[in-house]
Chains A and B, each alone.
Chain A
Amino acid sequence: MSAPNQSGWKPGTPVEDHNAMSGPDTVTGNRALMLEEPLLFEIGHVETTGVDLPEPSGATTRLGGMDRAEAIGLPGLSEPEAVRHYTRLSRQNYGIDLGFFPLGSCTMKHNPRLNEKVARMPGFADVHPLQPVQTVRGALEVINELAHWLIALTGMHGVAMSPKAGAHGELCGILCIRAALEARGDARKVVLVPESAHGTNPATAAFAGYEVEDIPATPEGRVDLEALKARLGPDVAAVMITNPNTCGLFERDMKAISDAVHAAGGFVYCDGANFNAIVGKVRPGDLGVDAMHINLHKTFSTPHGGGGPGSGPVVLSEALAPYGPLPYVVRGKDGEVHLVEEENADQYGHTQSFGRMTAFHGQMGMFSRALTYMLSHGADGLKQVAEDAVLNANYVLRSLDDVLDAPFGPSGPCMHEALFSDAGFAEDISTLDLAKGLIDEGYHPMTMYFPLVVHGAMLIEPTETESKAALDQFIAALRSVAERAKAGDATLKTAPHYAPRRRLDETLAARKPVLAYEEPVAPSGQPTMSEQGGR
């Protein structure tokens, strides 16, 4: 195992004069490269602009008499000020480019820069969604080519490309199921969801008008097949399953589950958030899945962007494909790709679509990135992705299961995520404390308190883009923090100590919500914009 750090500094090196080392307070509140940055509203001015535009000519307007007279209150910055403002803000963020991001269920892998370059090619970035089809054949080919990959990788029949993110994809899948059931006059009311499911699953089913019921799990962390079979009946529309599941395990009985659900007249929805573990190793279509969304921002490396945009195409079985949303893209008998919309759905026999989920064609900017990623890896590389992701997760699991409790460790190998519980921590130390301690070690924390079925859960997803050296350093860091958690080290309660901010008061934020900036009012009644600048 490599040393935890290569800088020459050793943990626990005694510091002779602590005060001399910690240094004086600064006037600015900055600490060298750690720079404080005021709000835009404290440094900008409504008369400042960073864009050169002509002075309005004063000609009469044709705005229907609706001219906006009052001040809007939007401060501007010149370009150098703006670049500095946002660059300083960026440095208060953690990102994959900076370090290891073991966030379970989120697949924080490296985002290749070729993808960014391709997405910015004028033929993709600078085309309007309503251009005549003859001027966007290349864009339609990207959609069609990506659809081909998704179908081949999942062994499914069709794919709805327009959903905007994972939860939107889930909704698309459930709406296809509901449309298919309604088409056969079957008004089923219930969707079954395991307790370990992502929160979006029950939220989606409820949004689509279904009652949600839990499916029990076995002690080893998988769906209880017998209990599920006992619950199936003519009122069950669908079962929503995550596979590999959120305990990091493959649902061994998936095929038997699908067969039982189908025999009872229902459909199987699979949450594809964890597809990275199995891409190129097994095809969900071979396991009886009817619908599955694929998070292009997870498995296929499109950037998370600090919370979106995502992209969630949904692969569909033969039974559900006819109900998929408009618009969609097909390759016709003439060899050209065609766009199917309300106008020409008849012509393509797609008359049973449940409708439109979003204004345009979906996340084109993500499609070009994801296709670039797939072409880079190829069928052989994607198989290697799953193998390395699973290898990395098992390496983390087995390197730490002596110091952390792995509740499903005895269930066999994990897939791409290692799950631990807080068993053995000192009484007043929580999973949250451990996670904040990891921040001080230079890591983004793992997913915490999820899945709900494990007490104080810590879900670690290393992904295939981490080197062994990176994992070894993380393992050493987590081992040390875990030992401190077990020993009841009080400094964990106040961690992080070295981040741009200490723990934030979330209760205050919720009790007295301040959701927009308001200028402080000066005694004269005139608001000032610079009063709090430079804090």
Chain B
Amino acid sequence: MRYLPLTEADRSAMLETIGAPDVDALFSDVPEEARLTGPIEGLPMHASEMAVEKHMRRLSKKNLAASDAAFFLGAGAYKHHVPASVDHIIQRGEFLTAYTPYQPEIAQGTLQMLFEFQTQVARLYGCHVANASMYDGSTACWEAVAMASRIARGKKRKVVLSGALHPHYAEVVKTMAKFTEDEIAHASPALQAQPDNDGLIARIDDDTSCVVVQYPDILGRVTDLQPIADAAHEKGALLIVVNTEPVALGAIRSPGEMGADIVVGEGQSLGVGLQFGGPYLGLFAVTSPKHVRQMPGRLCGETVDAEGKRGFVLTLSTREQHIRREKATSNICTNSGLCALAFSVHMTLLGEKGLRRLAMENHCLACHAADRLAKVPGVSVLNDSFFNEFTIRLGTDARAVVRTLAERDILAGVSLGRLFPNNAELADGLLVAVTETTTEEDIETLASALEEVLS
């Protein structure tokens, strides 16, 4: 077996040192009736690298890769071009095969990278401090809600979710709240050009620990969050802003500027790739220094070594489970380190100039797509405002249209029926995302196919 270096001679010599007659003697504490005598049945035996690769390639080919289609899916995961050097860097063994940097003297590479990453995220979000990442956007969203409950010390039990929050994020919050007994106020969005911010504000009361809004929202709309922040703060509640497309923040104002207290999001767009949903990258930041010690997750901080040289360490770990056990701010002990590296490298390659250009390229192509699709008979564009994703209405069940177009290698978007299966009023809605990877030809392909299918 190519991954196992011990030879039979090694094994015999080692057993002799140990003083055991055979390897089975080392398993003598396993009750005999439970001990397996041979390889587990129903599973294949070992296979060569070539054979395994062939098998996996066959499975891979049963999928339609995004790059082989006219591709318009978004809704929390976006297809962007990732520079080749990003993948090269994350495959360096010193990053790929390192452990969590608990031994800082031999982990400065990971630690300095995390410090740079935290700074990049904090600036992108317009925040004071960002952590070293979390599992993904949806779990980061729940962690933010849990943090707001902690800050309210259990005295406020109500969580107000915007109807235009990604429904899977809302589901995660609802799932977890069942167990923490937070009360969740949530409704599906209405198909309107503007989100119902007044309705949202009306749901905030003195028992509200936090308000959660998405920006740009699930339908792609972009609005000023300041009035929501003001209303929340007036009732002593925190404003949590969720962002699922970090590239947008190269074009639109940061949540931190508009009064957000906690900003969380999905970082997948930069460096990580689509990967069928994971691993992704949860981003988490706060605007106020007073909330830093309530944050979940790892934090990397600057310090000096015994010779006075600058260095970095994981810090404020008295919030964490390995120290605090049942009193920890979160049970999570892993971040998404390698994805954070990919994000950070991609962001470094872009720089502010590149990020702004990338954002405008996305936006301009999306404007072009919206205009072109609006000309398709039967199609109307819902949004007045959007970044790189907008909602169109087809006048018929969008799920069926999506399936039909997929037969022609057109991945037309995410149907609102898939996202909100219990709301028939949304069934004709289709979310269309456009990025720098979308060509004018792709847009034309989608528009003409829709013309055909809807006629």
Contact = CB atoms under 8 A, between A and B. Distances in A.
19 contacts: A54-B357, A61-B360, A63-B385, A93-B95, A95-B93, A114-B49, A125-B274, A126-B66, A135-B411, A200-B331, A207-B180, A254-B31, A310-B334, A361-B276, A376-B2, A380-B39, A383-B39, A499-B106, A506-B315
Contacts of B421: 341-343
Given A57-B360, A168-B332, A306-B113, 7 more contacts: A66-B252, A76-B350, A117-B53, A137-B63, A167-B334, A306-B337, A505-B304
Contacts of B406: 131-132, 134-135
A394 B26 CA distance: 8
A395 to B, nearest CB: 4
B196 interface: no
A364 B277 contact: yes
A430 interface: no
Contact of B278 (A69, A365, A395): A365
B231 to A, nearest CB: 18
A351 interface: no
Nearest to B368: A59
Contacts of A377: 1, 3, 46
Interface in A327-378: 341-343, 354-366, 368, 371-372, 375-378
Interface in B294-347: 298-307, 309-313, 315-316, 318, 320-328, 330-339, 341, 345, 347
B179 A82 contact: no
B221 to A, nearest CB: 7
A249 interface: yes
A422 interface: no
Contacts of B223: 64, 66
B360 A56 contact: yes
B352 A76 contact: yes
A486 interface: no
B249 A439 contact: no
A184 interface: no
Contacts of A68: 249-254
Contacts of B347: 74
A398 B14 CA distance: 10
A19 to B, nearest CB: 18
Interface in A60-116: 61-77, 79, 82-83, 85-87, 89-98, 101, 103, 106, 108, 110-112, 114, 116
A304 interface: yes
A56 B357 contact: yes
B331 A66 contact: no
Interface residues of A, number: 204
Interface in B107-163: 107-110, 112-113, 115-116, 118-120, 122-124, 128-130, 132-133, 135-139
Contact of B104 (A114, A385, A501, A535): A501
A439 B105 CA distance: 9
Interface string A280-320: 11110011000000000000000111111111000000000
Contacts of B252: 63-64, 66-68
Contacts of B55: 375
B27 A66 contact: no
A307 B337 contact: yes
A142 B357 CA distance: 38
A97 B3 contact: no
Given A75-B351, A82-B345, A199-B328, A123 B65 contact: yes
A375 B252 CA distance: 47
Interface string B410-437: 0100100011011000000000000010
Interface stretch (A3-11, A261-269, A508-516): A508-516
A21 interface: no
Interface string B26-70: 111111001110011111111101001101111111111111110
A503 interface: yes
Given A305-B96, A307-B132, A76 B44 contact: no
A91 B106 CA distance: 9
A281 B36 contact: yes
Contacts of A205: 326
Greatest chain A CB density within 10 A among B15, B77, B274, B298 is at B274
B323 to A, nearest CB: 7
A86 B345 contact: yes
Contact of B273 (A56, A125, A209, A310): A125
Contacts of B334: 164-167, 307-310
B185 interface: no
A464 B172 contact: no
B17 interface: yes
A286 B36 CA distance: 10
3 smallest A-B Cβ distances: which pairs? A76-B351, A360-B277, A97-B93
Contacts of A465: 3-5
A137 B352 CA distance: 39
Contacts of A124: 60, 63, 275-276
B41 to A, nearest CB: 8
Given A66-B222, A95-B97, A283-B36, A123 B251 contact: no
Contacts of A250: 27, 29-30
Given A51-B350, A309-B336, A325 B292 contact: no
A366 B251 CA distance: 33
A530 interface: no
